[in-house]
Amino acid sequence: MLGPEDISYDEQAAVLSEVLGREVRYEQIPIETHRANLLARGTFEAMAQGVIDMALAKNAGLDAGVVRTPEFSTPTTFRQWCQDVLVPATA
């Protein structure tokens, strides 16, 4: 499901910071660090590999392969979702 606009991870962090009232920043970590973190927290190897494969696919442009159409998009912005769903869930 796509929102009405493409926004970067840094832009998402800025929105989160504003909406939550505390600093949020995006930091990409090396893929092997991500794998090690998953495994250290008890993720099964197969699941960790699935998460890593998805991250690699996203980094390679997976999300750019979907055309924004009415069928595959929503008018809800990331900011609106944060205000309507995330803030109440974290209150």
First vs last C-alpha separation in the chain: 26
Reference 66, options 1, 9, 7; nearest CA is: 1
pLDDT of residue 1: 66
Contact 24, 17 (CB under 8 A): yes
How confident is the model at residue 65, as a pLDDT?
81
Q: Which domains does the chain have, with CATH numbers?
A: 9-90 (3.90.25.10)
Q: Which residues of the chain have pLDDT under 50?
A: none
pLDDT at 63: 81
Model pTM score = 0.79
pLDDT score recorded for residue 72 = 83
